[in-house]
Structure 1
Amino acid sequence: MEKARTRISGVATRTPLLAVGEGGSRIWIKAESLQLGGAFKLRGAYNRLAQIGAERRPAGVVAFSSGNHAQGVARAARMLDMPALIVMPADAPEVKVAATRALGAGIVSYDRARESREAIAAHIAEERGAVLVPSFDDVDVIEGQGTAGLEIADQLGRAPARVIVPCGGGGLAAGIALALPNSAIVTAEPEGWDDMARSLDSGAIVEVPADAPPSACDALLSRRVSDLTFGALREAGARGVWASEAEVRAAMRFAFGMGLVVEPGGAVALAAWLAGKLPEVEGDTVIVCSGSNVDPVAFAAMLRDSA
């Protein structure tokens, strides 16, 4: 992970750690929503792509994502002069599709309900001889994401007592768990999509059921976590919580009051904390806000409806 930090130095943004409240508060927000590309994903994507040998770079990379990993891979590929193709769900937010395309990546759409993005991406990568870059099931990606945890310790001058992290496939949470082995790790997921929490509770991977409810947290709608991420979080003794759609919207409004635009999936950790779903702890609690790629019209409507 220290090598990953060296690779991404000067590429990824060192995002701020913001105090919540006044008067010596020990609650902090790690604002990965201010990362280059609007999400933490550039950390892992660049760390992975930078290690691809020169002989393989002309064939490029293939990834699958609802948008944030797509942009991270597309941006890293452009920086390293590599072609990129991203498999994205047909219902991905247009702001994420447009941003990915603007970075020069090709896009292949799929039906989230009926098709396997992993199978589509693997087939394309094999045809092209390209490198497949998963969004979380990859050691180099996890280590890149974990550099956010190294930054947290540097910025505080110590390891926090607890870190609350949005979780889809678990790459960011697993990376932070590895970076901060003495901190308690809490994963936060949308209601009905809390498969990491249920997996940690049961001691084995549990998939999201087919009848899971719709959610605005598109960035976190992975139906199965990976052995790598689950294993790292299980070894870390992590636990999980979930947040409702209403709690997520309340967190987005709270973050906006602090000057942050945070997308639904990026706000679930803050939502869980604001909703009182976690006990108080001695020491620092760091809440990761992990993305800002939200449709501006929908975001404005959400703020207006709360008035």
Structure 2
Amino acid sequence: MSNIDMIRAAQSRLAGHARVTPLLLSPFLNDIAGRNIWVKAECLQHTGSFKFRGGWSAVSALNDKQRANGVIAFSSGNHAQGVALAAARHNAKAVIVMPSDAPKIKIENTRALGAEVVLFDRENQNRDDVATQVNQDGKMTLIKPYDNDQVIAGQGTVGLEIAQQAGEQGIEQGEVLVCCGGGGLTAGIALALQNSAPNFTARTCEPAEFDDVARSLASGKIETNARKSGSICDAIITPSPGEITFPIMQKLCGAGLVVSEDECLHAVALAYERLRIVIEPGGAAALAAALFHGNELNSENVIAVATGGNVDTSVFIQALQKFGTKS
């Protein structure tokens, strides 16, 4: 299972390849939230999301024979792009199984990065079954988006950076809000914080009706979502928390937070207007929780991870038209 040693090893392999993303602060956002909010801008990471970290960690940990046989992954887009770029830079073939309703920009970008894309209907097909069918001879290495120890370790490097950056800014304690799908990033950050910044608590953030992790943390067992699709927060829509990630989150995380789609769109608009960064709705769930759910927070210091910026232009325009500053 992933641990701090694996996270530090992943950080060493990522050195010179991943960006150290900034911790941003806006007094305007602080005023809205009524507390200090810092935004960890992983939307500025390679491929537009933190997923590059996990993709690189997993691919770089393979041996030469495994890389020669190629890798396969399933993803709605951000993990797809992270694995595709990591594979391309390691001269490995990548096949990505993606839902047909994924944002067009994510599908196009994954192909542009050199991966073969196989589309499936997530309402009527199981992505694991599709991946198994594509990889019939079993030679390609499956890199799951969150239930993979090396992926979790790679995502955990975000937590190491947060711990260091918070220390440099004199932030001694607080809550780290994380947009959460299957829990790879949350689990990795929680493990890193436990070791490097124990006065910080990781908390999951999800859209309403797709809050399987929050419900799982509350019930103490893995819960599933009734719906499999139909949210603008596509980046963090998963059936349930992972078998590997859930025990970590259960042990180390606080209660889950649940936000509305409109709150995510509002956060997208505010991030652009006040920080000049572009976030996709699923990548804005943590900022939405920080801004609009202050009564559920326990600290005056909050770090929200802006996990991805791969938003379709039409959705970004919708956010600005609905919640942008009116002149």
**Shorter-chain TM-score: what band?**
over 0.9
1:79 maps onto 2:58 in alignment: no
Q: Deviations along 1:202-256, whole A, 9 cap, x unmatched?
A: 000001114x773100111101111211100011043101111111111111101
Distance 1:243 1:282 in 2: 18
- Of 178, 190, 203 in structure 1, the residue corresponding to residue 207 of structure 2 is 190
Distance 2:135 2:281 in 1: 31
- Of 270, 283, 307 in structure 2, the residue corresponding to residue 290 of structure 1 is 307
Name the residue aligned to 2:236.
220
- Of 271, 289, 297 in structure 2, the residue corresponding to residue 255 of structure 1 is 271
Name the residue aligned to 2:3.
none
Asked if 1 retains the 8 angstrom alpha-carbon contact of 2:177 and 2:304, the reply is yes
Instruction: Please report how far the alpha carbon of residue 94 of structure 1 lies from its aligned counterpart in structure 2 after TM superposition.
Output: 0.6
- Give SS of 1:180's match: helix
Name the residue aligned to 2:159.
149
Instruction: Please report how far the alpha carbon of residue 49 of structure 1 lies from its aligned counterpart in structure 2 after TM superposition.
Output: 0.5
CA-atom RMSD, angstroms?
A: 1.8
Instruction: Please report how far the alpha carbon of residue 19 of structure 1 lies from its aligned counterpart in structure 2 after TM superposition.
Output: 1.3
Name the residue aligned to 1:3.
9
Structure 2 unmatched runs, 5+: 1-6
1:172 maps onto 2:185 in alignment: yes
AA aligned to 2:17 is: V
Distance 1:103 1:279 in 2: 40
- Give SS of 2:47's match: coil
Distance 1:243 1:300 in 2: 20
Distance 1:160 1:13 in 2: 25
Instruction: Please report how far the alpha carbon of residue 121 of structure 1 lies from its aligned counterpart in structure 2 after TM superposition.
Output: 1.1
Name the residue aligned to 1:245.
261
Instruction: Please report how far the alpha carbon of residue 20 of structure 1 lies from its aligned counterpart in structure 2 after TM superposition.
Output: 3.0
AA aligned to 1:243 is: V
Name the residue aligned to 1:63.
73
AA aligned to 1:96 is: K
TM value normalised by structure 2: 0.89
Instruction: Please report how far the alpha carbon of residue 284 of structure 1 lies from its aligned counterpart in structure 2 after TM superposition.
Output: 2.9
Distance 1:37 1:50 in 2: 17
Asked if 2 retains the 8 angstrom alpha-carbon contact of 1:185 and 1:239, the reply is no
Distance 2:117 2:229 in 1: 27
Q: Within 5 Å, which residues of 2 pair with 1:74-153?
A: 74-127=84-137, 129-153=139-163
Asked if 1 retains the 8 angstrom alpha-carbon contact of 2:122 and 2:229, the reply is no
Instruction: Please report how far the alpha carbon of residue 159 of structure 1 lies from its aligned counterpart in structure 2 after TM superposition.
Output: 5.8
AA aligned to 2:155 is: Q
Distance 1:40 1:91 in 2: 22
* Aligned-residue identity in percent: 42
Asked if 2 retains the 8 angstrom alpha-carbon contact of 1:153 and 1:159, the reply is no
Q: Deviations along 1:126-159, whole A, 9 cap, x unmatched?
A: 4251000000001110010010000011112166
Distance 2:295 2:211 in 1: 15
Distance 2:181 2:203 in 1: 13
1:273 maps onto 2:273 in alignment: no
Number of aligned residues: 306
Residues 161 and 48 of structure 1: is their aligned pair in 2 closer, same or farther, counting only changes over 3 Å? same
Distance 1:180 1:208 in 2: 28
Q: Deviations along 1:36-72, whole A, 9 cap, x unmatched?
A: 1100001011001101110121210000000000000
Distance 2:172 2:234 in 1: 30
- Give SS of 1:286's match: strand
Distance 1:219 1:271 in 2: 15
Distance 2:177 2:160 in 1: 15
Distance 1:180 1:192 in 2: 29
TM value normalised by structure 1: 0.95
Distance 2:112 2:173 in 1: 38
Instruction: Please report how far the alpha carbon of residue 279 of structure 1 lies from its aligned counterpart in structure 2 after TM superposition.
Output: 4.0
- Give SS of 2:27's match: coil
- Give SS of 1:176's match: helix
**Between structures 1 and 2, the one with greater helix share:** 2
Q: Deviations along 1:63-118, whole A, 9 cap, x unmatched?
A: 00000000000000001000000000011111001100000000000001000111
